[in-house]
Chains A and B, each alone.
Chain A
Amino acid sequence: MKLAYWMYAGPAHIGTLRVASSFKNVHAIMHAPLGDDYFNVMRSMLERERDFTPVTASIVDRHVLARGSQEKVVENITRKDKEERPDLIVLTPTCTSSILQEDLQNFVDRAAIESESDVILADVNHYRVNELQAADRTLEQVVRFYIEKARRSNTLELEKTEKPSANIIGIFTLGFHNQHDSRELKRLLNDLGVEINEVIPEGGLVTNLRNLTKAWFNLIPYREVGLMTATYLEKEFNIPYVTTTPMGIVDTAECIQEIKEILKKNNYYKNFDEYIEQQTKFVSQAAWFSRSIDCQNLTGKKAVVFGDATHASSMTKILAREMGIRVSCAGTYCKHDADWFREQVQGFCDEVLITDDHTQVGDMIARIEPSAIFGTQMERHIGKRLDIPCGVISAPVHIQNFPLGYRPFLGYEGTNQIADLVYNSFTLGMEDHLLEIFGGHDTKEVITKSLSTDSILNWAPDGLAELNKIPGFVRGKIKRNTEKFAREKNINEITIEVMYAAKESVGA
């Protein structure tokens, strides 16, 4: 048992549901007790989804516990088949069904005979994998299922597209800025003259998965989800893939060069150097920003980075390599990918932290006392408590991380967004310190909440200095009491003496 208040990655079934509900016309049925369909709330609220989330539960209750699910799961699958006519139904096990050890595969086989939809059982174990690993696995499972189905019926598209083309794999629901990244990636590939073959799972049709093999290569923007699918497609069909996340100027260029190499192997020669230079110097403002005096002020400032492996490693490299900021610690909660992460951030940070315990992250931040944090919503709250500004760069996230406006993190527009995020985090921190040093914006400190005041009370410098020594949480109260006392005694200038007189009079 583990005493836990918070977790970075959710349980396995959430990953499966995220993949399943990202596809069009795919329905997921959870084998779960009442109340476990919380995923629907998250999708409906965070993504502000207009459509009903295609996830229902086959409820596990007392009766199921006593007698087993029996016909219930099969009935629920066939019912959903008739109601919604989905292309695919994914039966999703939860922690509860993991320990019930019912033969869910048997239910799936039986239901598949009766229903017109395809039916599969998500192959994830609650106690072995987390949300991200499960998503990766489920995506591969669905792709494999349809590729093999197409192979059996000889409908697999083995011929490559005429022009260079790519699949974008791993864009899905409740992902951190995934929708915006997807748009930016499409634009990037379009600029390079590469056609988009399929984008999965978000908005994709499972019936189109047999087309995946037409692409010249696969682009995996996020390491956490899509890598298994890419390796499967490479092994089976020799389709190469690019895993360099195009986040930041250097890595975006690197990603483009890798694409060039792949195209070259297919006897398609195109030089992107001019494009990269044009974008780097003039389209993206990030390169110029790093030369500007604004960014000079950030040189050597301490920062801490924490998040999923993709975003935390890219962010570390951007801060250290492109902005001259000192990353005191870079960390990730993707423990299963620790080796890769260490290798990525090596040389870009002072220390590496691999943990999924948020208290360890909090302690590390408190010890380092950075000028800014780049992390998840949890780090934002740690920052709030320690008075350190935080830019959110990775899931887990809140509703404010699903902005309506265009906010990619990838590609050249992404570099602009990141530069803003970094700069805003640090200036806010600077301003805060300046305020502290000079004791506020003006010496006539705010007495009432309204901006203008007809009070003639004035705090003398020594009084104010004394007031600032008082701990923040009682300062307001002491101030009010003193001012009340001063008004009663018709004193206009509050000096240190007045303060103590007020204090004494309270006791009297």
Chain B
Amino acid sequence: MSETLSETLTFECETGNYHTFCPISCVSWLYQKIEDSFFLVVGTKTCGYFLQNALGVMIFAEPRYAMAELEEGDISAQLNDYKELKRLCIQIKQDRNPSVIVWIGTCTTEIIKTDLEGMAPRLEAEIGIPIVVARANGLDHAFTQGEDTVLAAMAHRCPTQDSKILVGTISDSENNDQWPLNKVLNSKIVNNLFQFNKKTQPNDSTNYYNHPPLVLFGSLPSTVTTQLNLELKRQGIKVSGWLPSQRYIDLPTLGDGVYVCGVNPFLSRTATTLMRRRKCKLIGAPFPIGPDGTRAWIEKICSVFGIIPKGLKTRENQIWEGLQDYIDLVKGKSVFFMGDNLLEVSLARFLIRCGMIVYEVGIPYMDKRFQAAELALLEDTCNEMNVPLPRIVEKPDNYNQIQRIKELQPDLAITGMAHANPLEARGISTKWSVEFTFAQIHGFTNARDILELITRPLRRNQSLEGLGWTKLVKSATS
């Protein structure tokens, strides 16, 4: 492996023959996140079968999502798409009365060129419920990128500052006092600007700096959003909103002068939309995964607002101390990421900081611009920890990867469920990658949860040690 000790990161690209979840799986967490939504997946039995099996028990809890299952008549255009969708959406309105219906376009609607974007505004006007269209299909995207397409589509639906001023509803008034100086000349902000650097909110006992509005994007469980909000509050930074919000009707205000920052590495399309279409300013930071990432994330936001962060280093160190028992377990162990959810770079960076050696970072898609800060932190971390830079393999080829795993014999392979059991039977410890998308892994508070997941196979190995059955396939089979 000595030859891979290169100075800069190397990027490779393979065949793209790898296993991952279909991006429509994003409905499983988004329908729970956005409480007043309904997700309608316009696709075939194949899509439905995937959702049904991947989401298991959730399906029985009367979920707020369904398939609009395309039949032969839809494919051959014997039936009118518009009329069919109208019929289903009216039924959904009657049964569930959601605040928004999200249409998830699939491979099939792409191929038969169903004009979902064209039909949505017409139908929206007709039935009086907003219809958001996201093309989360397997032709273009992998797994978590599904959320990216939905959030990018939702970014268009966020209210603008001007419209909010005009509407001026009561619920909005709290947010209004955080608007950019150039727009809201008569607001309290302007007055405060000339008083102190720091100002006190009338309805809030905490001190916030006077900074332009900050909107965070990325779907996280509400407990984690609260934790990150509090983390920034400690630095005197107020989060004026999240995309997505807990309810569709509470989407954050966007526009010129609003700063946005992502919390997940797979949100590049949303970031682009926020910058180009909504004129927001993007804060490019590493992602708040692991204590190192969380600190770098906060530091970057602070630096953009010209704020000197306080107590961060101490806080980070405290977290690391709390992780010591797990770090002792992972130190010096090697990891191989097969790649399927785009969290790989951030996780690899954190694990290297924990003292692990990463052989390979497989990743479905690498947006070097959106992940720039994260990649830089990865490089720094490798140099600091004095370990070789991992190879980053975009669009990996699972077959080739398994040959490499056989050769390298890593202590841990982070992989999808299709390969986990076969690798375990061959004596390679695995961790299912999907768990990282469903577990709470963001911020200082949840750093332990990541290591809890990572060390689980290692701890299991400890307790089963000495039983002599690590390899459980007959030698004849490969």
Interface residues of A (CB under 8 A from B): 1-7, 10-11, 13-14, 32-38, 40-42, 44-45, 48-53, 56-57, 59-62, 65, 76, 83, 94-96, 99-100, 126-128, 130, 378, 381, 384, 398
Contacts and interface: CB of A to CB of B under 8 A. Distances in A.
A360 to B, nearest CB: 16
A56 B398 CA distance: 10
Contact of B69 (A2, A10, A49): A2
Contacts of A44: 417-422
B459 interface: no
B52 A61 contact: no
Contact of A52 (B60, B91, B141, B402): B402
Given A35-B20, A35-B138, A50-B422, 20 more contacts: A3-B69, A5-B59, A34-B20, A34-B22, A35-B50, A37-B19, A38-B21, A38-B50, A50-B425, A51-B425, A51-B473, A52-B402, A56-B17, A60-B107, A65-B139, A76-B17, A96-B108, A126-B46, A127-B71, A128-B72
B477 interface: yes
A61 B22 contact: no
A34 B142 contact: yes
Interface pairs A-B: 4 shortest CB-CB: A35-B22, A33-B138, A40-B418, A50-B425
Contacts of B91: 3
Contacts of A128: 72
Contacts of A48: 421
Contacts of B17: 56-57, 59, 76
Contacts of A62: 139-140
Nearest to B474: A50
B363 to A, nearest CB: 14
24 contacts: A1-B68, A1-B69, A1-B84, A3-B92, A4-B67, A10-B45, A11-B45, A34-B20, A35-B22, A37-B418, A38-B21, A44-B417, A44-B419, A44-B420, A51-B473, A52-B402, A52-B422, A56-B399, A57-B17, A65-B139, A83-B399, A94-B46, A99-B112, A378-B60
B138 A34 contact: yes
Contact of A95 (B20, B24, B45): B45
Contacts of A35: 20-24, 50, 138, 142-143
Interface in B53-103: 53-54, 56, 59-60, 63, 66-72, 74-75, 79, 84-85, 87-88, 91-92
Interface in B111-155: 111-112, 137-143
B410 interface: no
Contacts of A45: 417, 421
B265 to A, nearest CB: 18
Contacts of B446: none
A37 B45 CA distance: 14
Contacts of B419: 44, 52
Nearest to A53: B418
Contacts of B380: none
Nearest to B50: A38
B35 to A, nearest CB: 19
A5 B95 CA distance: 14
A40 B24 CA distance: 18
A127 B399 CA distance: 31
B52 A33 contact: no
Interface of B: 16-17, 19-24, 42, 44-46, 48-50, 52-54, 56, 59-60, 63, 66-72, 74-75, 79, 84-85, 87-88, 91-92, 107-108, 110-112, 137-143, 399, 402, 416-422, 425, 472-473, 477
A51 B422 contact: yes
**Residue of A13, A99, A384 most packed against chain B (CB within 10 A):** A99
Given A7-B45, A11-B49, A59 B422 contact: no
Contact of A65 (B63, B75, B111): B111
A333 B445 CA distance: 48
A45 B88 CA distance: 34
A41 B425 contact: no
A388 to B, nearest CB: 15
B68 A3 contact: yes
Contacts of B416: 41
Nearest to A46: B53
Contacts of A42: 53
Contacts of B22: 33-36, 38
Nearest to A380: B60
Given A35-B143, A59-B16, A96-B107, A126 B418 contact: no
A41 B49 CA distance: 13
A102 to B, nearest CB: 11
Given A41-B418, A48-B421, A4 B69 contact: yes
Given A1-B84, A127-B71, A14 B111 contact: no
Nearest to A61: B139
Contacts of A65: 110-111, 139
A36 B46 contact: yes
A358 to B, nearest CB: 10
A83 B400 CA distance: 10
B63 A5 contact: yes
A7 B139 contact: no
A3 B46 contact: no
Nearest to A47: B421
Contacts of B23: 35
Contacts of B110: 65
Given A35-B22, A61-B139, A41 B52 contact: no
Given A51-B473, A95-B108, A3 B399 contact: no
Contact of A33 (B19, B137, B477): B137
Contacts of A33: 22, 107, 137-139
A490 B141 CA distance: 64
A3 B67 contact: yes
A96 B52 CA distance: 19
B108 A7 contact: no
A357 to B, nearest CB: 11
A398 B56 contact: yes
Contacts of B472: 50
Contacts of A41: 19, 53-54, 416-418
A126 B49 CA distance: 13
Contacts of B60: 378, 381, 384
Contacts of B141: 34
B48 A7 contact: yes
A189 to B, nearest CB: 27
B398 to A, nearest CB: 8
Nearest to B75: A99
Contacts of B477: 51
**Residue of A13, A37, A48, A398 most packed against chain B (CB within 10 A):** A37
A95 B52 CA distance: 17
B421 A49 contact: yes
A96 B43 CA distance: 10
A34 to B, nearest CB: 4
Nearest to B91: A3
B74 A1 contact: yes
Contact of A6 (B46, B59, B68): B59
Contact of B66 (A3, A13, A36): A3
Contacts of B16: 34, 59, 61
A57 B49 CA distance: 17
A53 B16 CA distance: 18
Contacts of B53: 38, 41-42
Contacts of B425: 50-51
Contacts of B137: 33
Nearest to A42: B53
Contact of B44 (A3, A61, A126): A126
Nearest to B40: A3
A45 B418 CA distance: 8
Contacts of B42: 1
